[in-house]
A = this chain, B = another copy of it.
């Protein structure tokens, strides 16, 4: 951490900053340029409070040199994490294929979709039962009954299932029915929920918030990891920008950026990211080409009958087309992944 002093900083100002740093158990390293004086902080800098330092009289700015996350960092955990969900490996050579409806709507609907996902070679079945909707007048999900149907549908086709928790109490409610807990973009900084998930033994699929920086995303992962749950799966689902040709702006760049910095697997969600069915296939391919460990998409037999997200759900023909496109790139992507995985150690949990 580096403290840049104002031109107007007095000797007393500087001394107080130095005293503060030393009292916190770190060392100071001063450097005086022609225009600016700076103080370097040497020691366990992650514990130094940047905002407190910024508040000292005479301080112009405080610059962090170290990343703020630790458990999610490749530096402290060089081995790639591979998460085993009932035999499905997330982060291995084979990109994971998760699909299902936005919302579980009925027993028949989720069974119909589960059959299709299984037939198409999907690995994990998704389906929401507690739905965060921007309007209180919209469908809010089928609740625990929906979770039971989801569980049964997955079981019938040997597909582990993933569903969203919006609230601490949802964890217990859904515990018996889901294999992966999903945290939605709007809850990426619901810190008490993250802590509670850190105390469970199930994997957590953590979606990036729509205005989250890379650091904030990994710090949210850190909330889960720091409570003892190492099974965190990251997921890029689009950010909010000025762009209007897609619902959100799928930030493909975070995929390789995260791969460089973190050992955690990262998926892409082209359905939410683009909000447009015709873009789901090219964006899925782009995400995998950039190094994503898999994708999660919304499929529905009759999107116009869907209770939610019909406009971004693929129907079964579109789903087939996506898989056909993907199949064309498949061999290349597997080769690329193998080359990369050979260069690091792996840890399967």
Residues of B within 8 A of A132 (CB): 189, 191
Residues of B within 8 A of A36 (CB): 65-66
Choose among A2, A253, A285 the residue with the greatest number of B CB atoms under 10 Å from its CB.
A253
> A340 to chain B: closest CB distance in Å?
10
Give how many copies assemble into the complex. 4
Task: Please tell me if A172 contacts chain B, counting CB pairs below 8 Å.
Answer: no
> A145 to chain B: closest CB distance in Å?
18
Given A52-B304, A311-B54: A245 touches B252 (CB 8 Å cut-off)? no
Cβ contact within 8 Å between B167 and A192 = yes
Q: Which residue of B lies closest to A2 (CB)?
A: B2
Cβ contact within 8 Å between A313 and B191 = no
Cβ contact within 8 Å between A133 and B240 = no
Number of residues in A with C-beta < 8 Å to the partner?
Answer: 120
Cβ contact within 8 Å between B252 and A252 = yes
> A301 to chain B: closest CB distance in Å?
12
Give Cα A336 to B307, complex, Å.
Answer: 34
From B219, B246, B310, B332, A51 is in contact (CB under 8 Å) with B310
Given A226-B136, A283-B252, A286-B290: A31 touches B42 (CB 8 Å cut-off)? yes
Contact with B along A296-319 (1 / 0, CB 8 A): 000000011111111111000000
> A31 to chain B: closest CB distance in Å?
5
Contact with B along A45-68 (1 / 0, CB 8 A): 111011111111100000101101
Cβ contact within 8 Å between B245 and A242 = no
Cβ contact within 8 Å between A216 and B333 = no
Task: Please tell me if A279 contacts chain B, counting CB pairs below 8 Å.
Answer: yes
> A163 to chain B: closest CB distance in Å?
15
Residues of B within 8 A of A155 (CB): none
